[in-house]
Amino acid sequence: MNSLISRIPCAWRTSLGVLLFGLMLSVIYDLGWRYGLSIEARNIAGILLFSCIMLGAAVAYAGARLSGAKTMLSVKIALLVPIVWHIKEICMASKLFGIGPGLYSGIQGYYWAYYGLILVSMGIIHLGLELYFKVTLKDNRSVWRGSGYFFLPLFLVLGIEAFGWFLFRFDLFLFHGYLTGYRALFM
Protein backbone atom coordinates (compact mmCIF):
# COMPACT_ATOMS: atom_id res chain seq x y z
CA MET A 1 0.00 0.00 0.00
CA ASN A 2 2.83 2.40 0.80
CA SER A 3 4.40 1.81 -2.60
CA LEU A 4 1.10 2.72 -4.27
CA ILE A 5 0.77 5.90 -2.23
CA SER A 6 4.38 6.85 -2.85
CA ARG A 7 3.78 6.64 -6.63
CA ILE A 8 1.00 9.23 -6.43
CA PRO A 9 2.41 12.78 -6.62
CA CYS A 10 1.99 14.68 -3.34
CA ALA A 11 -0.15 17.38 -4.92
CA TRP A 12 -2.78 14.82 -5.99
CA ARG A 13 -3.11 12.94 -2.71
CA THR A 14 -5.61 15.24 -1.02
CA SER A 15 -7.84 15.39 -4.09
CA LEU A 16 -7.83 11.61 -4.51
CA GLY A 17 -8.45 11.20 -0.78
CA VAL A 18 -11.50 13.49 -0.94
CA LEU A 19 -12.70 11.62 -4.03
CA LEU A 20 -12.36 8.21 -2.36
CA PHE A 21 -13.99 9.51 0.83
CA GLY A 22 -16.90 10.88 -1.22
CA LEU A 23 -17.21 7.57 -3.07
CA MET A 24 -17.35 5.68 0.23
CA LEU A 25 -19.98 8.10 1.57
CA SER A 26 -21.98 7.77 -1.63
CA VAL A 27 -22.08 3.99 -1.27
CA ILE A 28 -23.14 4.31 2.39
CA TYR A 29 -25.78 6.92 1.57
CA ASP A 30 -27.20 5.11 -1.48
CA LEU A 31 -26.88 1.46 -0.47
CA GLY A 32 -26.72 1.53 3.32
CA TRP A 33 -30.31 0.40 3.67
CA ARG A 34 -29.39 -2.93 2.08
CA TYR A 35 -26.93 -3.65 4.88
CA GLY A 36 -29.16 -2.57 7.74
CA LEU A 37 -27.64 0.85 8.42
CA SER A 38 -29.92 3.15 10.34
CA ILE A 39 -31.50 6.17 8.69
CA GLU A 40 -29.49 8.43 11.01
CA ALA A 41 -26.18 6.92 9.85
CA ARG A 42 -27.22 7.28 6.21
CA ASN A 43 -28.28 10.89 6.78
CA ILE A 44 -24.93 11.70 8.40
CA ALA A 45 -23.22 10.08 5.40
CA GLY A 46 -25.41 12.25 3.12
CA ILE A 47 -24.43 15.43 4.96
CA LEU A 48 -20.75 14.51 4.76
CA LEU A 49 -21.17 13.61 1.07
CA PHE A 50 -22.73 17.02 0.41
CA SER A 51 -19.78 18.60 2.21
CA CYS A 52 -17.37 16.63 -0.01
CA ILE A 53 -19.22 17.76 -3.12
CA MET A 54 -19.34 21.42 -2.09
CA LEU A 55 -16.06 21.84 -0.20
CA GLY A 56 -13.93 19.02 -1.60
CA ALA A 57 -12.43 21.22 -4.31
CA ALA A 58 -11.34 23.84 -1.77
CA VAL A 59 -9.76 21.19 0.46
CA ALA A 60 -8.03 19.60 -2.54
CA TYR A 61 -6.81 23.03 -3.68
CA ALA A 62 -5.34 23.73 -0.26
CA GLY A 63 -3.69 20.30 -0.18
CA ALA A 64 -2.17 20.81 -3.61
CA ARG A 65 -0.88 24.29 -2.82
CA LEU A 66 0.59 23.20 0.51
CA SER A 67 2.29 20.33 -1.32
CA GLY A 68 4.10 22.82 -3.52
CA ALA A 69 1.95 22.90 -6.65
CA LYS A 70 1.54 26.18 -8.53
CA THR A 71 -1.84 27.90 -8.75
CA MET A 72 -3.01 26.60 -12.14
CA LEU A 73 -1.98 23.01 -11.42
CA SER A 74 -3.73 23.26 -8.06
CA VAL A 75 -6.93 24.43 -9.78
CA LYS A 76 -6.78 21.47 -12.17
CA ILE A 77 -6.21 19.06 -9.31
CA ALA A 78 -9.01 20.58 -7.25
CA LEU A 79 -11.51 20.33 -10.10
CA LEU A 80 -11.16 16.54 -10.17
CA VAL A 81 -13.85 16.04 -7.50
CA PRO A 82 -16.49 18.37 -9.05
CA ILE A 83 -15.90 17.04 -12.56
CA VAL A 84 -16.22 13.41 -11.46
CA TRP A 85 -19.42 14.27 -9.58
CA HIS A 86 -20.77 16.15 -12.62
CA ILE A 87 -20.01 13.21 -14.94
CA LYS A 88 -21.77 10.89 -12.48
CA GLU A 89 -24.84 13.14 -12.55
CA ILE A 90 -24.86 13.17 -16.35
CA CYS A 91 -24.62 9.36 -16.40
CA MET A 92 -27.50 9.06 -13.93
CA ALA A 93 -29.68 11.40 -16.03
CA SER A 94 -28.70 9.50 -19.19
CA LYS A 95 -29.86 6.24 -17.62
CA LEU A 96 -33.24 7.76 -16.85
CA PHE A 97 -33.91 9.93 -19.90
CA GLY A 98 -31.53 8.78 -22.63
CA ILE A 99 -28.15 9.97 -23.86
CA GLY A 100 -29.20 13.26 -25.49
CA PRO A 101 -31.34 14.58 -22.64
CA GLY A 102 -28.76 13.30 -20.15
CA LEU A 103 -25.99 15.27 -21.82
CA TYR A 104 -28.27 18.30 -22.07
CA SER A 105 -29.03 18.06 -18.36
CA GLY A 106 -25.31 18.49 -17.72
CA ILE A 107 -25.35 22.03 -19.10
CA GLN A 108 -28.22 23.39 -17.04
CA GLY A 109 -27.57 26.50 -15.00
CA TYR A 110 -27.38 24.83 -11.63
CA TYR A 111 -24.11 23.24 -12.67
CA TRP A 112 -22.70 26.56 -13.87
CA ALA A 113 -23.65 28.11 -10.53
CA TYR A 114 -22.11 25.09 -8.77
CA TYR A 115 -18.81 25.55 -10.57
CA GLY A 116 -18.96 29.25 -9.76
CA LEU A 117 -19.43 28.47 -6.06
CA ILE A 118 -16.62 25.91 -6.23
CA LEU A 119 -14.28 28.52 -7.68
CA VAL A 120 -15.35 31.08 -5.06
CA SER A 121 -14.55 28.60 -2.27
CA MET A 122 -11.19 27.94 -3.94
CA GLY A 123 -10.63 31.71 -4.19
CA ILE A 124 -11.25 32.13 -0.47
CA ILE A 125 -8.80 29.32 0.28
CA HIS A 126 -6.34 30.86 -2.20
CA LEU A 127 -6.53 34.20 -0.42
CA GLY A 128 -5.97 32.54 2.95
CA LEU A 129 -3.01 30.59 1.60
CA GLU A 130 -1.52 33.72 0.02
CA LEU A 131 -1.79 35.47 3.40
CA TYR A 132 -0.20 32.45 5.07
CA PHE A 133 2.64 32.36 2.55
CA LYS A 134 3.17 36.12 2.90
CA VAL A 135 3.46 35.86 6.67
CA THR A 136 5.60 32.73 6.78
CA LEU A 137 7.79 33.23 3.72
CA LYS A 138 8.24 37.00 4.06
CA ASP A 139 8.05 37.60 0.31
CA ASN A 140 7.16 40.95 -1.24
CA ARG A 141 4.61 39.86 -3.79
CA SER A 142 1.03 41.04 -3.77
CA VAL A 143 -1.44 39.03 -1.70
CA TRP A 144 -4.32 39.67 -4.10
CA ARG A 145 -2.42 38.25 -7.06
CA GLY A 146 -4.80 35.84 -8.76
CA SER A 147 -7.45 35.78 -6.01
CA GLY A 148 -10.01 37.79 -7.95
CA TYR A 149 -9.96 35.42 -10.92
CA PHE A 150 -11.70 32.75 -8.86
CA PHE A 151 -14.72 35.02 -8.39
CA LEU A 152 -15.16 35.95 -12.07
CA PRO A 153 -17.05 32.83 -13.30
CA LEU A 154 -19.79 33.17 -10.68
CA PHE A 155 -20.14 36.89 -11.39
CA LEU A 156 -20.29 36.14 -15.12
CA VAL A 157 -23.04 33.52 -14.76
CA LEU A 158 -25.04 35.69 -12.38
CA GLY A 159 -24.52 38.74 -14.60
CA ILE A 160 -25.77 36.95 -17.73
CA GLU A 161 -28.71 35.58 -15.74
CA ALA A 162 -29.58 39.04 -14.39
CA PHE A 163 -29.19 40.58 -17.86
CA GLY A 164 -31.59 38.02 -19.34
CA TRP A 165 -34.06 38.50 -16.51
CA PHE A 166 -34.11 42.30 -16.63
CA LEU A 167 -34.12 42.51 -20.42
CA PHE A 168 -36.43 39.62 -21.36
CA ARG A 169 -38.08 38.68 -18.02
CA PHE A 170 -36.67 35.24 -18.71
CA ASP A 171 -33.98 33.34 -16.83
CA LEU A 172 -31.48 32.00 -19.31
CA PHE A 173 -29.84 29.23 -17.28
CA LEU A 174 -31.86 28.06 -14.36
CA PHE A 175 -35.42 27.04 -15.14
CA HIS A 176 -37.21 28.66 -18.06
CA GLY A 177 -34.19 28.74 -20.34
CA TYR A 178 -33.34 25.13 -19.58
CA LEU A 179 -36.91 23.92 -20.19
CA THR A 180 -37.30 25.97 -23.36
CA GLY A 181 -34.11 24.47 -24.75
CA TYR A 182 -35.17 20.98 -23.66
CA ARG A 183 -38.54 21.33 -25.40
CA ALA A 184 -36.92 22.67 -28.55
CA LEU A 185 -34.39 19.85 -28.73
CA PHE A 186 -36.22 16.78 -27.45
CA MET A 187 -39.96 17.27 -27.77
**pLDDT tens-place string over residues 138-181:** 666 655 566 667 788 878 877 887 887 888 777 766 667 777 77
Q: Which is it for the CA torsion 144, 121, 176, 165, positive or negative? A: negative
Report d(CA 137, CA 103) in Å as an integer: 46
Q: How far apart are CA 102 and CA 106, in angstroms?
A: 7
pLDDT, tens digit, 9 for 90 and up, residues 67-88 = 988 888 999 999 999 999 999 9
pLDDT band at 17 (very low <50, low <70, confident <90, very high): very high
Model confidence pTM above 0.85: no
Please state, in angstroms and rounded to a whole number, the distance separating the CA atoms of residues 42 and 32.
6
